[in-house]
Structure 1
Amino acid sequence: MGESLEAAVRSALRAVRDPATGRDVVEAGMVEGLTAKAGMVQFAIQVPRERARDAEPLRSAAEKAAAAVPGVLSATVVLTAHRAEPPKPAASAPGPGGKATPGQGPMLLPDVGAIVAVASGKGGVGKSTTAVNLAVALASQGLKVGLLDADIYGPSLPQMLGTRERPRAEGQRIIPLQRWGLKAMSIGFLVDAETPMVWRGPMVMGALEQLMGQVDWGALDVMIVDMPPGTGDAQLTMSQRVPLAGAVIVSTPQDVALIDARRGVRMFEKVGVPVLGLIENMSFYCCPNCGHRADLFGHGGARQEAERLGVEFLGELPLKLAIRELADAGTPIVAARPETEEAQAYQRIAARLREKLKDRVGGGSRVNIVIE
């Protein structure tokens, strides 16, 4: 199915001609990185560097031709600069990967009151578990909540939400899945679990734009965005395509994690996104048999770092077996065992976030919170 759809898209693109040469974009070798997975089509149009600013009509025509192919739910096309041209001094900063930044268009997600980014700076600190449980906690407090998995290379929401269901389409719109009181979307719902996403930066940005702009999210109070670790293409796309109002940084207590958390804070500051606070995950370990507490990764490092950076410390979360087991089983602890102390810890942090956003959530103005 994927191969036949890809062939159909290539065939349709032969009708799109480059006005500069009169050749179709396929014959001219301008189509780069074409993929067609689960109805989602992505590719780049490669043009000489000096034409990058004027090639938007060609990009738009290629995108429309691909979108019109039967079986295509959505199509995203980006422009890339031809590397064969001699380098010239740039008049403005280049886009990710040194390539020309494509035209951004209007901001996405206009019907979402607050877009929250949860970030970590490095992997392995429990960011996704934190993002999912905070989203469920906000939903349990009466908000209409969306949960977007922005990690294209390593999506985790299908596992953590306990479903591999494929989203359905209505016309050219993809309907998000509903689970635990949330509307959720991840690239993991659209591809096989073991399919590697071997995509370059522009394709990652295109996929993110599809997950935001071509999914029928509807009106939401809050959207939690589970960001990939680091400070790369996904973070740049989010800062460019949605007006982020804040970020929450998740870290473990030890110094090696705090160094990367610090980089995350500085990255958001650099793109003009205030940091709403830090969360210390795996703050301490409790033995499930005897209840003994041990500070396996140290304790209090994130609180001290928050004080040093001048941002709020939002709270600490324990390293407990039940949190991991329930996350792996697709049942977030906030939903499965709401009476537990660890579930209440997530609820307290969610309530504090809601308090920080009270003038914006449901009030008609936009707020964005990103959790990586």
Structure 2
Amino acid sequence: MASTPTTEQVNAALETVQDPEIHRPITDLDMVKSVDIADGGVVDVGIYLTVAGCPMKGRIQQDVTEAVSKVEGVTKVNVELDVMSEEQRKALQTKLRGNQGEKEIPFAKPTSLTRVFAVASGKGGVGKSSVTVNLAAAMAERGHKVGVVDADIYGHSVPRMLGVTDSPTKVEDMIMPPTAHNLKVISVGMFTQGNQPVVWRGPMLHRALQQFLGDVFWGDLDVLLMDLPPGTGDIAISVAQLIPNAEILVVTTPQQAAAEVAERAGAISAQTHQRVAGVIENMSYYIAPGSDEPVHLFGEGGGQVVADGLTKALGAEVPMLGQVPIDIRLREASDDGTPFVLADPEAAASQTLRQVSDSLVGKPRGLSGVQLGVTPVSH
């Protein structure tokens, strides 16, 4: 005769279920409303959703059902969904934020361990967004906790390139970012209807970026990548103001005309006092099928020109991080919503992007340098 499952066993199973947006156990988030076990191994589980229209409710219901079904003696699982009250949502917000101020940007704090990279270019069309999402995916695959801010307000494309279809969820004054390929992502495209253009001026752009950084619950990130619009306009200035410790990554093509404009984008750091982490040359060359000979469709040397020019202008070494070859499959993967470094990790472009990723952040951090909040006690 099968044993009857206990409440302790069911709760232990529920501890393995994580909220898909917050990435913490639902038991820690006080989302478990009730557990009732009837004769014959029928288990009724009540779950609180953060909001009534939670886009992840189907996923949560499925994960709870699967986890509890694995408990010995359980024959059937019924999951009843409820919605948190305003007081419960405020309590959740307090639990997640701690004592952090509502509009405080965690990445700007001196104690922050998150590396922030602002990916910039002088002009559009150089593949800056493609480089951003592929670097992010490569870092996440290495085990880093990574977030991506699509700060290209007018030309947002990151959701498409990462295949993000879910909408952000609002819990009181916090925004829970959707997740794709183990990346947390936020973009103004998630708040507009269809392909509607965004017609904003400077103050509204600044406010949007401030919300993306301060109102979104990012959790404990190792790396935050920001896809900036081309040039040295309002967003670049706002990034310098809001996250002065952000490092700049400059993306260019080999073409000399593009390189000259890209150098200006990096040279803004002389005024904002930000570090330029390096230069990435995209679309460096093309190798036709059946050939081993690279064809330089857009010229040669633009990336190195930018790196050398910035090194001279800033008085600090700005390295050339990598030359990414042209690969039509990279474009196809972006349109399909899968980063190329994941779709074809052995391709030359993927390997170059992975090498750049590793040179920027290396291995995931351990406990070294982390403030544990432990106070020594003398005996």
Q: Secondary structure at the match of 1:147?
A: strand
Measured in 2, the distance between the counterparts of 1:154 and 1:215 equals: 21
CA contact (8 A) 1:113 1:360 kept: no
* Corresponding residue of 1:130: 131
Matched, 1:180 2:181: yes
Corresponding residue pairs, total: 260
CA-to-aligned-CA distance 1:296-324 (integer Å, 9 cap, x gap): 10122211331243211101001110111
Aligned to 2:202: 201
**Do 2:143 and 2:364's aligned partners in 1 also have CA atoms closer than 8 Å?**
no
Provide the rounded CA distance (Å) in 2 between the counterparts of 1:159 and 1:291.
32
Structure 2 runs not aligned, ≥5 long: 1-102, 312-317, 372-379
Establish whether residue 363 from structure 1 lines up as the match of residue 369 from structure 2. Answer: yes
- 2:329 is equivalent to residue 322 of structure 1: yes
Distance 1:165-1:334 versus aligned 2 partners, 3 A rule = same
Tell me which structure has the larger Cα radius of gyration.
2
Q: Which amino acid aligns with 1:329?
A: D
Tell me the CA shift for residue 258 of structure 1.
Answer: 0.7
Q: Higher RCO, 1 or 2 (CA under 8 Å, sep at least 6)?
A: 1
Q: Secondary structure at the match of 2:119?
A: strand
Identity of aligned residues (%): 41
* Alpha-carbon distance in structure 2 between the residues aligned to 1:254 and 1:336: 28
Give me the CA root mean square deviation: 2.2
Contact 2:120 2:266 in 1 (8 A): no
Aligned to 1:276: 277
Which amino acid in the other structure matches residue 211 of structure 1? Answer: F
Contact 1:114 1:361 in 2 (8 A): no
1:254 maps onto 2:259 in alignment: no
CA distance in 2, matches of 1:163, 1:359: 27
CA deviations on 1:312-368 (whole Å, 9 max, x unpaired) are 11010011101111111111111111122221111000010014x999997349xxx
Does the 8 Å contact 2:222/2:364 carry over to 1?
A: no
For 2:175 and 2:290, locate their aligned partners in 1 and report how far apart those are by CA, in whole Å.
46
Corresponding residue for 2:215? 214
Q: How does 1:1-372 map to 2 (within 5 A)?
A: 106-109=104-107, 110=109, 113-288=114-289, 290=291, 293-310=294-311, 311-355=318-362, 363-364=369-370
Deviation at 1:113, TM superposition (A): 1.3
- One-letter amino acid of the structure 1 residue matched with residue 282 of structure 2: N
Write the letter of the residue equivalent to 1:300: G
Q: Deviations over 1:139-190 (max 9, x none)?
A: 1111111111001111111110112321122222111111111111111111
Point out the more displaced range, 233-242 or 306-315. 306-315
2:249 alignment partner AA: V
CA distance in 1 between partners of 2:106 and 2:264 (Å): 26
Cα distance in 1 between the residues matched to 2:310 and 2:113:
29
In the other structure, the counterpart of 2:66 is none
Q: Offset of 1:255 from its aligned partner?
A: 1.2
TM-score, normalised to structure 2, is: 0.64
Indicate the residue corresponding to 2:377 in structure 1.
Answer: none
Secondary structure (helix, strand or coil) at the match of 2:116 reads strand
Distance 2:366 2:259 in 1: 30
Separation in 2 of the partners of 1:276 and 1:121?
16
Shift of 1:193: 3.0
Matched residue of 2:251: which SS?
strand
Report the Cα distance in structure 1 between the residues aligned to 2:147 and 2:361, rounded to whole angstroms: 14
**1: CA distance between counterparts of 2:160 and 2:367?**
29
State whether residues 248 and 274 of structure 2, in contact with CA within 8 Å, keep that contact through their aligned partners in structure 1.
yes
1:179 and 1:112 map into 2 onto residues whose CA distance is: 23
Q: Which runs of 5+ in 1 are unaligned?
A: 1-104, 366-372
**How far apart, in 1, do the equivalents of 2:367 and 2:139 lie?**
11
Distance, in Å, in 1 between the alignment partners of 2:237 and 2:134 is: 25
Question: Measured at CA, do residues 178 and 106 of structure 1 come closer, stay the same or move farther in structure 2, by a change above 3 Å?
Answer: closer
User: 1:282 and 1:149, CA in 2 relative to 1: closer, same or farther beyond 3 A?
Assistant: same
Partners of 1:230 and 1:107 in 2: CA distance: 24
Q: What secondary structure, in the 3-state scheme, does the structure 2 residue paired with 1:261 have?
A: helix
SS of the aligned residue for 1:220 comes to coil
- Hey, what's the Cα distance between the residues in 2 that align with 1:335 and 1:132? 11
- Per-residue CA distance 1:40-82 (angstroms, 9 max, x = gap): xxxxxxxxxxxxxxxxxxxxxxxxxxxxxxxxxxxxxxxxxxx
